Amino acid sequence: MKITVLTYLDAEDESSRDYDPVVRQVARTLRALGHRVSILGVHGDVKRLIAGLRRRKPELVFNLLEMFGDLVTGDIPVAGLLDLLGVKYTGCGPGEFYLSQDKALSKKLLAYEHLLYPRFAVFSPNSDFETGGNLRMPLFVKPARSDASIGVSRKSLVSDAVQLMKRVAAIHSELNDAALAEEYIEGREFYVGVLGNQQAHALPPIEVDFSGFPEGQPKVLDSRAKWEESSAEYKGTKSVVAVLPDEMRARLQKVAVDAYRALRVRDYGRVDLRLTDTGEIYVLEVNASCYLEKSSEFAMAAAAAGLDYPRLIEKIVNLAVTRNRR
């Protein structure tokens, strides 16, 4: 097949080719699988995006684009544009992206399926305060839409109203996003990958092991723990294939598949969960079209299920092709 890997570039200058490592990994893998592969990197120029697609005429876009221009939710309109152009692509469409990216709206869909999520309040700069009821401190305050732990730090955990309102104001002004205040869920953290459409299957859960985390600090994957390789938080966390009794693994996987379905995720995604001491499983968020880098939790989980990287990438292509045929 003729496949174009679509990705976001930090700057308009396409000659920089400063791609995220996942882009070349996916492109190389697709080539090795026998496809004719091109890469299209765009920053925020719609005309260039359209021209690039017209020139390449892909039968399928492998969509790795996560934002567009300055818009962190730019993947939504880009998926819509692909629909308008009649271009087929892997992963979610605009509507599915919208549902899972709005973490407050997501909870309302999870509620219908009787899935547990942290109780919450939304502080939006543009509309009324919204809450499902009384919340118990401490609260965890994060942006309602951003991902990759943007806006998540040590300050995210607040224990009084003054700290809460400070974080809310910072999220409004620094990230131009609504603030989501959630009850803090103490417990083990799991990432569960899911693959499929009509028949969605969960991969083996990956646990975020906080055992090396700095003493006395709340165990959360803040932006340091995720990205700052020199920090104690980064060094103190590692993702491992979870060691669990079969029954508990099955429960985590069922919650993940139910959440994936509830949010209409297509092809592949990852569900972030917390498990409390009393055995309750909370959905923290659903990542539609999650990160596919070779050492990512998703690829690790696939490998644990016997799907090596080439087979995982091929599986995503096949899911998208079959879905588009229907």
Ligand X SMILES: Nc1ncnc2c1ncn2[C@@H]1O[C@H](COP(=O)(O)OP(=O)(O)O)[C@@H](O)[C@H]1O
- Which residues of the shown chain bind ligand X in the complex (CB under 6 A)? 118, 140, 142, 147-149, 152, 182, 184-185, 189, 220-221, 272, 274, 284-285
Rounded Cα–Cα distance for residues 115 and 223 (Å): 27
Interface segment toward Mg ion; rule CB under 5 A; list 58-66, 73-81, 98-106, 267-275: 267-275
Interface segment toward Mg ion; rule CB under 5 A; list 3-11, 234-242, 265-273, 315-323: 265-273
* CB 147, min distance to ligand X, A: 3
Q: How many CA atoms lie within 13 A of 55 on its CB side?
A: 9
| Whole-number Cα distances in Å, 55 to 38, 40, 51, 255, 285 | 11, 10, 6, 43, 37
Q: How many residues does the chain have?
A: 326
Q: What does 188 interact with, of ligand X, Mg ion, none (CB < 5 to 8 A by kind)?
A: none
Q: Which is nearer to Mg ion, 3 or 300 (CB)?
A: 300
Closest CA to 208 of 245, 238, 241: 238
* CB 43, min distance to Mg ion, A: 25
Q: DSSP string spanning 146-210?
A: --TTTT-SGGGEE-SHHHHHHHHHHHHHHH-S-EEEEE---SEEEEEEEE-SSS-EEPPPEEEE-
* CB 287, min distance to Mg ion, A: 6
DSSP state of 97: H
Burial class (CB in 10 A: 0-12, 13-18, 19+), 91: buried
Q: Which is nearer to Mg ion, 8 or 191 (CB)?
A: 191
Q: Which of 272, 289, 298, 313 binds Mg ion (CB under 5 A)?
A: 272
Closest CA to 139 of 179, 110, 106, 105: 179
Tokens of 30: 């697709």
Check residue 189 for interaction with Mg ion (CB under 5 A). Answer: no
Check residue 66 for interaction with Mg ion (CB under 5 A). Answer: no
Q: Which is nearer to ligand X, 96 or 272 (CB)?
A: 272
Q: What does 185 interact with, of ligand X, Mg ion, none (CB < 5 to 8 A by kind)?
A: ligand X
Q: Which is nearer to ligand X, 53 or 225 (CB)?
A: 225
Q: Which is nearer to Mg ion, 52 or 118 (CB)?
A: 118
Residue nearest to ligand X (CB): 147
